[in-house]
Structure 1
Amino acid sequence: MTKTHVSPGTPGSGPARRTPGFRAAAVGAALPLVLAACGSGSGTAEDGTWAPTEAIEITAPAATGGGWDTLARTGARLLEEEGLVDQSVQVVNKPGAGGAIGWAYVAGHGGDPHKLFVTSPPVLLVPMAGNSDHDHEDFTPIARLATDYMVYLVPADSDVETFDELAAQAESGEFSVGGGSGPGSMDHVALAGALTAAGTDPASANYIPFDGGGEAMTSLLGGHVDAAVVGTGEALGMLESGDMRAVGISSPERVEAVSDVPTLVEQDVDFTFDIWRGVMAPGDLDGAQVAYYEELFAELMDTEAWQEESARLGWTDAYQDSEEFGAFLDDTRDEYAEILTEVGLQ
């Protein structure tokens, strides 16, 4: 079974990348909507443009050290360092329930243009499993930024050398695999899909959920689980330190940042899985506010600093503006429904 949910572009060449002149044109087109909002966007100028009037807050719906936290903190730091914002950018962590705690927090700030959150497949998968009161339609898509992949980790001294060996151990039910998302969500689906492709019944695996990939790796280091499945960017520090080894990666081809890690496909496991990463906001933002943020993140991605960080973290640029990202989310939810059914998680 091969499932690839995104066809990522090459770095810097994501679809419909905006030019610096886009914001003025987009805001001009959105002006009637802004005027109709009747003051809903504090910070809206007479010409219809909008800019933040207070600190921007980016929520990472997980504990520190995971993929959401890495994206939020990298984005916040570079937005300030590159001088792209006049206000400060703050990161808050709202871990729990596979992301649902953080989404509930953001949903409680409907219409607030100073609240953002980072997102990835769990915003679709967790609600599909019935574990969140909010789904992606409750929020405003801002931009898709990048694509990452999953790595399958074991301790450096583990006897497991290949993904087939990991699958064989997992089939026993006594070999535990930690992940940074809840049952039926991203990490679990990435494990279950790979195990199915390797000829192992995913229901036999002992999957242990944690609040983020950082916690899953901490548990692996402590010997509390036997393996872990997390995003490549999350695992780089542990791989570089030599504390862990990756026995496979879910990319269609090898990733430069971890070029020594074989793909699942190379190991005759016909499965790929990519982690799209993006930014969303509370519901009910107006056109000028959306235009400000989608162009802001497009400008961020054009900086050399972002390109260097992306390469270091193993990310591939895959920009989509608000409208494109919203359509992508709708389509991807349908794809995930098929995968969950195929691996017996729905």
Structure 2
Amino acid sequence: MTTLSLKRFAVLALPMAALAMTTSAHADEWTPSRSVEFVAPANPGGGWDTLVRTVSRVLQEEQLAERNFAAINVPGGGGAVAWAQIARDSGNPHKLFATSPPIILVPLAGASRHDHTDFTPIARLITDYSIILVEADSEYQTINDLFDALKENNSLSIGGGSAPGSMDHISVAGLASAAGLDASSVNYIPFSGGGDAMTNLMGGHVEAVITGAGEAVGQLGEGSQLRALGVSSPERLGGGLADVATYQEQGVDYTFDIWRGVMGAPDMPEEAVAYYETLFTEMLETDGWQQARDQLGWLDAYQDSETFGAFLDEQKEQFSSVLSDLGLLRQ
């Protein structure tokens, strides 16, 4: 090739290289091309549903997302039904779901063939706490009143919105143990979500319910059919739960936090993960989110995808020990 030809080739190659770099950069900047399916793996009214609808609303009101986040409820199996559906949608960057300790606990108890390693961690968002509820006219005024009754009559039942061996069961079992009972003796009745559990409490089908504080706050207050006996936080929460005493204030040395976050379909593209990480980071800084968070008694507890994934692995080790003590660990 002559010197003149080489110069002409170089002149032509420069804009082509620039175009290739621009195209590559644009490819890395992924954004949704359609509505994002945001799944709550339970009936309306529970903790997952509350997180999904709160996040979707704030993203819309703050005009942060290019596309709508469509809240979808897929109840059943303590989350297992939804997880089975999402697991079949590998690589889909438009499908997310709310997650919390059951993504670890339900598989460990043998109630789901899918666990956290089958999905894409996106971000941990908040920490919530457990709360014990009774009917407004219940004879029980404190946590100790309830557990004294359970000691005398172990047929009395406590309902929860997750499967046996899952989050609500683990939370109340630990509380019972701290209150001097055999954790395995608690007559735990599972329902399909926190909302369903509270409905059954109001119907007189269980003595008490354990659920997430955030999902219960809307059911409490003047004129409510329900009343809170205690909350698992180390200090009293704000907002509508400021009057609820902690377990520790009542002489039961026990706390339990319920982290909640977002995961995606298996093998989600890295550029989609990066988009959602940035989106949720921006959301946490908005006034709309902070107002909703405080009203629900949540605490921000953000972790990015990589950190959240490592945290989930640690949770699996911790919960394996608890389930083993309850005799619920799948062998």
TM-score (norm 2): 0.89
Query: What aligned pairs does 1:244-255 form with structure 2 within 5 A after superposition?
Result: 244-255=226-237
Q: Supply the distance in 2 between the matched residues of 1:345 and 1:285 (Cα, whole angstroms).
A: 32
Query: 1:322 is matched with which residue?
Result: 305
Q: Does the 8 Å contact 1:66/1:234 carry over to 2?
A: yes
Residue 194 (str. 1) matches residue 166 (str. 2)? no
Residue 202 of structure 1 and its aligned partner are, at CA, apart by 2.3
- Once the two structures are superposed, residues 240-272 of structure 1 have per-residue CA deviations (whole angstroms, 9 ceiling, x without a partner) of 243211111111111113121111111221211
Deviations 1:9-39 (A, max 9, x none): xxxxxxxxxxxxxxxxxxxxxxxxxx9xxxx
* Alignment of 1:341 onto 2:321: no
Deviations 1:262-294 (A, max 9, x none): 111112212111000000001111211110011
Gaps of 5+ in 2: 1-19
Q: CA shift at 1:344, angstroms?
A: 4.5
C-alpha contact (below 8 Å) 1:54/1:87 kept by paired residues: yes
Q: Is the 8 A contact 2:161 2:197 kept in 1?
A: yes
> Is 1:208–2:189 an aligned residue pair?
yes
RMSD: 1.6
Deviation by residue 1:95-143 (Cα, 9 ceiling, x = unmatched): 0000000111111111000000000000000000000010000000000
The one-letter code matched in structure 1 to 2:319 is Y
1:90 aligns with 2:70: yes
Q: What is the aligned residue count?
A: 305
Classify the secondary structure of the residue corresponding to 2:205.
coil
Which residue matches 2:40? 60
Match of 2:97, SS state, is strand
- Contact 1:139–1:281 (Cα < 8 Å) also in 2: yes
Residues 168 and 200, structure 1, Cα contact 8 Å, conserved in 2:
no
**Which residues of 2 match residues 252-291 of structure 1 at below 5 A?**
252-257=234-239, 258-291=241-274
Shift of 1:173: 2.1
Q: Residues of 2 paired with 1:130 and 1:102: CA distance?
A: 16
Q: Is the 8 Å Cα contact of residues 179 and 216 (structure 1) preserved in structure 2?
A: yes
Contact preservation (8 Å) 1:113, 1:282: yes
Q: How does 1:52-131 map to 2 (within 5 A)?
A: 52-131=32-111
Q: Which residue of 1 aligns with 2:123?
A: 143
Higher deviation after alignment, 232-241 or 144-153: 232-241
> Would you say the 8 A contact 2:130–2:211 is kept in 1?
yes
Counterparts of 2:141 and 2:96, CA distance in 1: 41
Q: Are 1:159 and 2:139 counterparts?
A: yes
Alignment correspondent of 1:177: 158
Provide, for residues 148-202 of structure 1, a one-character-per-residue CA deviation record: whole Å limited to 9, x for no partner. 0000111010001111221122231221111000100000000100000100122
Distance 1:190 1:196 in 2: 10
Distance 1:91 1:45, change over 3 A: farther
Which stretch shows the higher mean deviation, 104-113 or 160-169? 160-169
User: What one-letter code is carried by the residue in structure 2 that aligns with 1:281?
Assistant: G
Question: Taking every aligned residue pair, what percent have the same amino acid on both sides?
Answer: 54
Query: Structure 1-normalised TM-score?
Result: 0.85
What secondary structure sits across from 1:145 in the alignment? Answer: strand
Which residue pairs with 2:6 in the alignment? none
Match of 2:289 among 297, 303, 306: 306
Query: What amino acid sits opposite 1:162 in the alignment?
Result: T
Could you tell which deviates more after superposition, 46-55 or 317-326? 46-55
Q: Give the partner amino acid of 1:327.
A: A
1:214-260 CA-to-partner distances (Å, cap 9, x unmatched) read 00000001111110000001111221243211111111111113121
Q: Is the 8 A contact 1:193 1:343 kept in 2?
A: no
CA–CA separation in structure 2 for the residues paired with 1:45 and 1:227: 55
CA contact (8 A) 1:196 1:343 kept: no
Q: Residue 276 of structure 2 corresponds to which residue in structure 1?
A: 293
